Structure 1
């Protein structure tokens, strides 16, 4: 079993030791690394699927009981079935938990495993960590920290890549490219919580005990707690970099802003503010501010413009906001902006742009750019205002039939990531020429979409889902679009990963 040796020269040396085998003998290599599989394999790797539930249960019972003993303990069998479902049919985890419960006949002990949110037994006996942790140990130090931060995302809650990347960016990890939707598997979340236990914490109650040196806090179910309890809780904490506490009172928010002025990331989403506290301008170290889905906010304080280190500003779903603060040009490091606004003229230095669920937005016009008559005039205007995108997401624009040329006037050589989802009438990207910088493209739920740009020499990843016309045209070797994308890997068509033989 090889997981760590990614040096092809080392494999050549090792392979020589197997040269003297008998005629017809074969070597089988198992690995968690696709790179190792490519280095060692002489045939196409076989990707193992998860066990069927019935086989998972059989494997669990084999390790949890002596032969025939399970028939004598039907009460434990019922609990065991729930535990097996939590294992998500991963054989290694099923075996580990079965072995952990071997010789434990107390129903309470079994229920502790079944009901535990933090997997206390994992820390106590360390068996589960020892099974899952080798994959974590292979990560580089920056990726280990990024994985630890994932412990702040609740189990089995779907989230988009932009939320995760913005979080990493806020803490100085921005050289990572991922795309798609994600959710934390139960056991991976437990592993992340284990390795981040002294830094990150999800708080379910202000009565909860936490490590004094905690740096990143995500608060849930806080709406039924008093400000007094909250104040007592936060007095236990000396220094925070991340604070997520949606649905909070104004007085409590102001108290936190005054106490934790070194925050890099602040999440106030789904709150009932009409006006954000001016104190927010004192968060000089802030990289990410999330005030999305706050229906009562009509105006953002101009003090936000004093946050010169701010990289991500999210006020999507704030439908009452009439305009951005006048001095937004001072937010010189802003890279990601997600917004709902009645304002039509948007000017900012952006690298990430998400446009979604805007029923009245007409992307085909250039009204937001002072009605410039010529393309050259628009291009000069955009360059002057620093409009040079790296990532663009177009979401839920049901009336959109074609993407506008003006978006590419100054981004054709910089745009690396493109995501298009739920645009039912969008037909093509063919009119977008010279997209030489494209690296990651995702097209999802676009039934009329049929063709891609011609020049995508840098394309690395392509994902197409629920877009039948385009999927058909991108079929390996046979599709009309295949020559444009054959150099990319992976290519995922409706969940099936394909690639050209040379990849």
Structure 2
């Protein structure tokens, strides 16, 4: 069962308990109907559903019962969301006025009566179906199971640490691989790392890749994830991208890619890692090796794979067969993940159980870490014994102990984390997740529940906690901080196999191969646009997600929009059509719409009817003329990314966007002003980003009213002046925590309005501000500042006195500031202190 029924029931009860419906339901006379529906769902007993989900694997009749229940609960979700849509539509009209006679007619008494009767009938039908299903539960003899409704995730620093600090027992393996690399004497020398899934092949390759000897030996290093059956053209694109050589997918041909690759590799000794290879087609490998022959003597390609057959096809100069960890190494790794520092010595009884658990993991690091993360900070022997003695270890499997360990870890996580993790089956193996995108989709599907201890906490914050908890249990890995406050991560391919085994009946990839399509499919990934395949989708009725993995035809998109009326997520980024079908306005349940990097020139005005929409991505839409003023009707918008040719956003209409949490304004080259009529709006905005807006002269006047703003990023806005038009610092009510300014040649001093964040500013980044001459004397008065990074500020000649005695400062980095003079001994009290290329004092040592 991909999406646990218990989680869906809990989500519905939370919605029904929301006050958002109250006024509307009273006015329409359906309050009693909804109360009865809430009572009916409550009668099902979520704790018994937990027991049902636990037992269903061995009971086909129970699986069928849960399947029927889920269908009805999904229908109930659509009805509740339909009511929510009507509520928001009425709110939008109340705020901005009716825009057409049709809208006025919709709210006439006769139309209201008709809609009320239809809703009442739907609710009654759902209640009757639920009662019938609930009546059949007695045959299963459920008992109540209890679990924590919410997690309090442990975000350990080890997740951020470098690869070296996390690895146990692989130094000998690393040395054996580096030795033949140094002795390689052909143009292209292949080394393979072979082993079962979860052994740490990728981790070992990273150790080699980042080793100081290797870094100094090669002139060029590249890393590419392969996974599926690759195409040589796609692989060339990935190699060029890894080498930071941009590729224009619209104009690139196989010939231009080959030329670019040969120029890149010419006369260079390179290291290329091809991670997680599955392709056994020798012809493709011959073609690829031929393309790589342009490098210098001694170039190396390292291939990680589970298959010895692939290794033999490649004719490597060295094959490293990776073995499992020893018992001692496995126990050491387990202790690192299961205990806080030094805690293991206080619980010798748990250590003896750990020894038996580790034995079952058969030396597979992923299994060890997964179960260690599962038991982290738990000291009850019964919980440890349950892991050791669980029947799941008896399952037959082919991956040396890892799948039972992962399934055991999965079974132990709370329902809402199960729902969020299994949703990730919608993405391909080795997919690079970004926090805001994944959390936006989780929110769109109602997978995130508010914490009972803090009901005012933003859903985005709760989603962030979910990610970190899943990471601490090894379901996510490869955490990496990105620009603009974002971070990325990946899912191990074996975890992907696990969620696919759970979700295979609800997710489907549409490709050129005809497949039998199960009617239970709710999530579609489309990588083929053939008409025959689209016709086969006629059997589906409950699709909630559509993600295009290829450039779609307008016909394909319009067909899906017209057929599937329960969509929550629609991702059609990178498409090349210029007009979005106007039928998009019929998608009243839609919450997440990704149109980024498309060729759209304008949006249909019907998009403004999407009152439930929470995420709208228009970043990279360089041909987009403007936004309609009716975009203000998207009153639930929480995330907006925008690129446009317009000179002023929403110049002709007042707009509030008080649900907006994050706003990214990127590469709007003509943009001169933003939201000129929006005083006392954007009251919940927390992240504001300007990137590449070359004509933007100053911050918008409304910024002084953004009392919820936490992060402000202003990058490469050549005309930007931060002084705020001479306004007094006391006029600014900012409570910033992070400020980053980069590539602002007009900035000569830091703005006085930063004093409005004296008690809150934690991180300050100043980069490539070539005319910044001095930091203000008041900078040491920032009482919460923990991180100060200053790079590439050529004219900066001094820092204020007292900055080295700031009690909160934990990290100071100064790089490439040629005029800056300071003395290293003055900064010895700062834990993380780095100065590179900025000291002009004679005989001064530079770290």
TM-score (norm 2): 0.39
> Which residue does the alignment assign to 1:183?
489
8 Å CA contact 2:767–2:791 kept in 1: the answer is: yes
Q: Which residue of 2 aligns with 1:432?
A: 754
Give the Å deviation of 1:274.
Answer: 2.4
Alignment of 1:265-414 (within 5 A): 265-295=569-599, 297-343=600-646, 344-346=648-650, 347-349=655-657, 350-362=660-672, 366=673, 368-369=675-676, 381-383=678-680, 385-386=681-682, 388-396=684-692, 404=699, 406-411=701-706, 413-414=707-708
Asked whether the equivalents of residues 353 and 391 of structure 1 are also in contact (C-alpha less than 8 Å), the reply is yes
- Structure 2 gaps of 5+ residues are 1-152, 178-190, 207-305, 313-320, 323-394, 449-458, 466-484, 717-741, 794-801, 815-828, 833-847
For residue 163 of structure 1, what is the aligned residue in structure 2? Answer: 437
| Offset at residue 125 of structure 1 (A) | 5.4
* Equivalent residue number for residue 141 of structure 1: 415
Higher relative contact order (CA 8 A, sep 6+): 2
1:290-328: CA deviations, max 9, x gaps? 112221x22211111111101111122222222222322
What is the CA distance between 1:261 and its match in structure 2? 0.7
Q: Quote the Cα distance in structure 2 between the aligned partners of 1:166 and 1:444.
A: 30
Contact 1:398 1:425 in 2 (8 A): no
Contact persistence 2:431–2:491 (CA under 8 A): no
Q: What is residue 88 of structure 1 aligned with on the other side?
A: 203
Distance 1:151 1:432, change over 3 A: farther
Aligned to 2:427: 153
CA displacement at 1:282 relative to structure 2: 0.9
Partner of 1:24: none
**How far apart are residue 150 of structure 1 and its match?**
3.0
CA distance in 1, matches of 2:502, 2:715: 35
SS of equivalent to 2:629:
coil
Which of 520, 537, 547 does residue 244 from structure 1 map onto? 547
- Contact 2:664–2:690 (CA<8 Å) still a contact in 1? yes
How does 1:107-256 map onto structure 2 within 5 Å? Answer: 127-132=401-406, 136=410, 139-172=413-446, 173=448, 174=459, 175-177=462-464, 179-187=485-493, 188-208=495-515, 212-220=519-527, 222=528, 225-232=529-536, 234-245=537-548, 246-256=550-560
Residue 23 of structure 1 is matched in structure 2 by none
1:361 aligns to what SS in structure 2? coil
Cα distance per residue 1:407-438 (max 9 Å; x no partner): 53111x21134455663237657632334896
1:193 Cα deviation from its structure 2 partner: 3.8
The CA deviation at 1:266 is 0.6
Computing the radius of gyration over CA atoms, which structure comes out larger, 1 or 2? 2
More deviation, 259-268/166-175: 166-175
Gaps of 5+ in 1: 1-31, 38-45, 61-76, 92-104, 115-120, 371-380, 470-477
Asked if the contact 1:160/1:180 (under 8 Å) is kept, the reply is: yes
Contact residue 434 and residue 454 of structure 1 kept, 8 A: no
More helix by share: 2
Determine the C-alpha separation between the residues in 2 that align with 1:57 and 1:204: 40
Alpha-carbon separation, structure 2, partners of 1:327 and 1:164: 27
Report the Cα distance in structure 1 between the residues aligned to 2:519 and 2:400, rounded to whole angstroms: 24
Q: Assess if the C-alpha contact under 8 Å between 1:52 and 1:89 holds in 2.
A: no
1:336–1:106 Cα change, 3 Å: closer
